[in-house]
Amino acid sequence: MTQYPDLQLYIGGAWKKAAEGQPVLNPADESVIGMVPIASRSDLDAALAAAADGFRTWSRTSPAKRAEVMLRAARLMRERVEEIAYAITLEHGKPIAQARLEVVRGCEFFEWDAAEGQRTYGRLIPSEPGIKYIVMHQPIGMVAAFSPWNFPLSQPARKIGGALATGCSIILKAAEETPAGAIHIARAFHDAGLPPGVLNLVFGVPSEISEYLIPKDQTRLIAFTGSTAVGKKLTEMAARHMKPVLMELGGHAPVIVCDDVEPVVTAITSAIRKARNSGQVCTSPTRFYVQKPLYDAFSKAFAEKARTVTVGNGLNSCTQMGPLANHRRIEALETLVADAKAKGARVLAGGERLGNRGYFFPLTVLADLPDDARAMREEPFGPLALINPVSSIDEAIEKANALPFGLAAYAFTHSARNADRLAEGIEAGNVSINTLEASVAETPFGGVKESGYGREGGMEGLSHYTIIKNVSHRMM
C-alpha cells in the first residue's frame, strides 16, 4: 500500500486530530499533499502529562524489555519500507532509492541504540573498607526534541532511539514540512506495543512549542538538529533554566584532495556524494581544497560528472537527484551563486534553477572562489560544490579550519603520514579519510565550534540521555 499518511498528533498512545496549519507541499510539483496538524496549548499540556506517565512506566521497564519493543518497531519499519519511502519522497523530494536507504539507516539507529541501551553500566569504585561508592547511570527524564526536514525519518530516529534506549520519555516536534517520517515511526512503535506516553509527537509553530516546553520542570534535556542560529536561541533558553542540550547544527565540510590520489576517480566519487539528498545534508562535502598538480583534472572530471546527474521527480527510478525540499533553498542557492560569480568565481556546471515548477536546481560546481565569497562562509545546504587549489597540506588545513563550523571533514590521500596530520589537525567532530561517509550507527557524530554540542550515535550518544549518580554507602 503506498499512500501519504493521515497527518495527526500522537499523544499518550493515541492519534489526535488538530487544527490544520500549513499545507505540506510536494517539492517536485508544489502540489498540496496534506495539512500539518497544529498542537494547541492543551495538546502540549496533554503531551507533558502523558510523557510524565510514560517516563514512570518506561524508566522502570527492564532494558531488555525496552530493547525488545524497539527491535520490534524497527522490524515493522523495515517491513513497511516501500510505504514509508514513498511518503518521504513525496514530501521531501529525494529519489526513492535514497528514501529506502534512509528508512534502513533509521532502523539501524534504533537497533544499535536498543542493544547499547542494555549496556549503560555503572561502576563500583574501590575504597576503604566499610564504604562502597557506586556510580549509576539513570535516565535523565523527559526529552524535548526538535528534528529538521532534511531526513524526515532518520533525524527523528536519532533522538527517539537515544531517549527510548535509556528509559526516557520524549516529546518530539518533528518538521512541519516533512511530517510523514516521524508519523511512520510513531505508528511502528504503537504497533510494537510501546506503552502510552513514552513517545509523543507534535507539530506546530516551532518557536511557540520550544518556548513552551523548554522551561517546564519536567523537561530535562533539549535535543535539536537544525541551523546554528536556531540552536543558539534554544541553547540560551535552556541555559536560563539550567537544562542540558544536545545540539547538532550546521556544517560546511572541507574536502582535502592530496596530490598522491587519482584525481578523476576521486572527483567522480565526490560529485556523486555531493548530489545525495540534493546536498541538503549537514555533512555534505562542500569546500574542495585540491593540491595544485591535480587541480585541473579534478575540477574538469567533477564538472563533467555533475552535468550527467539526472535531476527530476524522486519517484522516477532514473532520477539521481530530486528537487530541493523547499523554496527557501532555491533562493539561498541563487543568492550564493550570484555573489560568487560577481566576485570572480568560474561556473563549471549548473548555476541556475531548472524550470519554474518544482524546486529543481542542478548539481552546481564553482571554481576559483575568493575566501570572501558568501558561499565559502555560509552553509549552502544544497547541491553546490566549491573547488579551490591549495599549495600544501598545511594551507589546506588552515583553510579547512578558517570557518566557525566544525562538523564533518574529509580527505583523500594514500599517505599514512598525510592522513595522520589531517586527522590530527582538522577541527571537526568527524574526519573521514578516503571515504565520504561521516557517521554510522555505531560511531559518535557531532560538531565542535558552532557546529554544536554533544554526540549522537555510538556509546557516547546515549550518555546525554542519562544522569550520573554517585551513591556512597557506609555499611552499618
Nearer to ligand NAD, 76 or 182 (CB): 182
For this structure, is 236 an active site residue?
Answer: no
CA distances from 421 to 165, 374, 396, 425, 433 (A): 37, 28, 11, 6, 11
Q: Where is 104: in which H helix or E strand?
A: helix 96-116
Query: Which cell goes with 351?
Result: 548555476
Task: Count CB atoms within 10 A of the CB of residue 180.
Answer: 26
Residue 465 · residue 166 · CB < 8 Å: yes
Q: Hey, what's the cell of 315?
A: 519517484
CB of 278 to ligand NAD, least distance (A): 12
Alpha-carbon distance of 126 to 231, in angstroms, equals 41
Nearer to ligand NAD, 109 or 412 (CB): 109
- CA-CA distance, 355 to 334, in Å (whole number)? 14
> Which residues here bind ligand NAD, judged by CB under 6 A?
146, 148-150, 175, 206-207, 210, 225-227, 230, 233-234, 248-250, 282, 328, 379, 381
Distance between CA 65 and CA 52 in Å, rounded? 19
Considering the candidates 111, 177, 248, 427, report the single residue annotated as catalytic.
248
Whether 282 is catalytic is yes
In 3D space, the residue among 303, 313, 318, 294 whose CA is nearest the CA of residue 351 turns out to be 303
Nearer to ligand NAD, 28 or 172 (CB): 172
User: CB 121 → ligand NAD: shortest distance, Å?
Assistant: 31
Minimum distance of ligand NAD from residue 178's CB (angstroms) = 8
DSSP state of 242: T
Closer residue to ligand NAD in complex, CB, 181/458:
181
What DSSP assignment string belongs to 213-237? HTTSTTEEEEEEES-HHHHHHHHHH
By beta-carbon proximity to ligand NAD, the closer residue of 53 and 334 is 334
Name the catalytic one among 108, 282, 379, 456. Answer: 282
In this structure, are residues 431 and 400 in contact, taking their beta carbons and an 8 Å threshold?
A: no
Q: How far is the CB of 68 from ligand NAD (least distance, A)?
A: 30
Closest CB 206 distance from ligand NAD, rounded Å: 3
Catalytic residue annotation: 248, 282
